[in-house]
């Protein structure tokens, strides 16, 4: 992972990390009757971090813990929102189709969304339709930390309900309704950490990392959009040093310009389909708040790139690039990505004729789906 230099901006915790800490606190309260003031939580990077508990209550039926989310200095609409976890003994028959049934050691955990947690209604997200919008990494954090705390040492069935009391109101200010998540917010996070997104601070960090890579002798740099593409690119290029892999978030154009100015011989962009579609359209800053994904715009672009007519009809009925692609077979899926990767490559080479670029596209699991130019055709 590219190391972020110290800055005056304070990092915070994702909704997923807060939900995991609240879950552990609820378990400890149920088991001991004592309410912990804080929880040392294990994060995906293997580090323990401390999260404060706001309040906990225990009845004869359940233990419920509340955390106030601290997103640090990030501009996050869920900053200071309350996140609750309620844990109680249950029977397997009490689950329904929207719940996640998860093994936790020798026990079984029924994971459910409560008030303010949305439910997924459309394909194309990290959670299948019909389930609570609780993403895979938060689910894993909950299980890992509950096991560390002792849940699962004995057989049994437990119900864990996550709630965000203000979730319905806050969700109206997100893309959830557009993406087909109804009834509230999603429990999100791929690292558990929220990095402050001050534009100037983030750009300064990217430029500092690029200068560091150049000073270390790197002539190839991989610009990854986030954690998953960063890890996927590391697997593709295991011989490159860690300093050559830099996360650029939504700052595509500025990062490319900085890398060109520093004289990198080869710039590799590692991304997924949603970001790729924005790159192909020439969108410089890709955060959803600045530019929501327009499937109509993508459809017009793909038709100009000779999208088969049958696929043009499908794209009009979808709300996200991922949903559109998941309705295609693998050959069609790759065909679309190759069109967009080629368009992105052409835009970059027109803007920076001295640069050498490769576009690599991965799925959410880190599997490479498209590359332009292909290995044999690289200039």
Pairing of β 220-224 and β 266-271:
parallel
Residue 311 reports pLDDT greater than 90: no
Residue 290 reports pLDDT greater than 60: no
Is the domain of 21 the same as that of 48? yes
Residue 352 reports pLDDT greater than 90: yes
Phi first, then psi, for residue 127 (nearest 5°) are -120, 135
**Does residue 288 belong to any structural domain of this protein?**
yes
First and final CA of the chain: distance in angstroms? 29
Residue 320 reports pLDDT greater than 80: no
Tell me the pLDDT tens digit for each residue of 73-96.
Answer: 776 789 899 999 999 999 989 999
**Does residue 7 belong to any structural domain of this protein?**
no
Is the domain of 157 the same as that of 229? no
Q: Look up the pTM and report it.
A: 0.63
Q: How many domains does one find in the chain?
A: 2
Is the domain of 166 the same as that of 289? no
Alpha carbon distance 201, 105 (integer Å): 42
Q: Do 232 and 272 contact (CB within 8 A), yes or no?
A: no
pLDDT at 3: 42
**Does residue 70 belong to any structural domain of this protein?**
yes
Tell me the pLDDT tens digit for each residue of 100-151.
Answer: 999 999 999 999 999 999 999 887 678 999 999 999 999 999 999 999 999 9
CATH of the domain at 185: 3.30.2110.10
> Which of 252, 249, 251, 243 lies closest to 219 in space, CA to CA?
243
**Domain extent at residue 134:** 12-194
Is the domain of 270 the same as that of 167? no
pLDDT at 341: 93
């Amino acid at each position: 992972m590219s190391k972020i230099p110290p800055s005056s901006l304070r990092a915070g915790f994702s909704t997923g990390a807060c939900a995991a800490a609240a879950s552990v606190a609820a378990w400890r309260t149920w088991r001991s009757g004592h309410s912990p003031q804080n929880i040392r939580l294990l994060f995906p990077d293997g580090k323990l971090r401390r999260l404060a508990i706001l309040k906990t209550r225990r009845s004869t039926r359940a233990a419920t813990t509340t955390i106030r989310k601290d997103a640090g200095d990030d501009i996050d609409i869920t900053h200071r929102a309350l996140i609750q976890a309620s844990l109680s003994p249950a029977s397997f028959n009490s689950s329904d189709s929207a719940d996640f049934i998860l093994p936790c050691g020798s026990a079984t955990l029924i994971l459910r969304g409560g008030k303010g947690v949305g439910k997924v209604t459309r394909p194309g997200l990290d959670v299948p339709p019909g389930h609570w919008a609780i993403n895979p990494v938060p689910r894993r954090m909950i299980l890992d930390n509950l096991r560390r705390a002792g849940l699962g040492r004995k057989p049994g069935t437990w119900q864990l309900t996550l709630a965000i009391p203000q979730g319905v109101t806050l969700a109206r200010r997100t893309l959830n309704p557009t993406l087909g998540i109804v009834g509230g917010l999603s429990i999100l996070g791929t690292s558990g950490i929220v990095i402050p997104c001050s534009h100037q601070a983030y750009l300064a960090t990217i430029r500092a990392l690029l200068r560091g890579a150049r000073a270390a002798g790197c002539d190839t740099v991989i610009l990854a959009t986030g954690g998953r593409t960063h890890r996927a690119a590391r697997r593709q290029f295991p011989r490159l040093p860690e300093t050559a892999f830099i996360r650029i978030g939504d700052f595509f154009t500025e990062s490319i310009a900085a890398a060109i100015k520093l004289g990198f011989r080869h710039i590799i962009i590692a991304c997924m389909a949603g970001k790729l579609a924005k790159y192909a359209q020439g969108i410089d800053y890709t955060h959803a708040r600045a530019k929501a994904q327009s499937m109509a715009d993508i459809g017009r672009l793909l038709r100009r790139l000779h999208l088969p007519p049958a696929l043009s009809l499908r794209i009009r009925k979808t709300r996200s690039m991922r949903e559109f692609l998941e309705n295609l077979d693998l050959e069609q899926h790759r065909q679309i990505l190759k069109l967009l990767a080629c368009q992105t490559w052409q835009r970059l080479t027109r803007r920076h004729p001295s640069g050498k670029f490769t576009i690599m596209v991965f799925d959410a699991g880190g599997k490479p789906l498209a590359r332009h130019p292909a290995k044999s055709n690289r200039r």
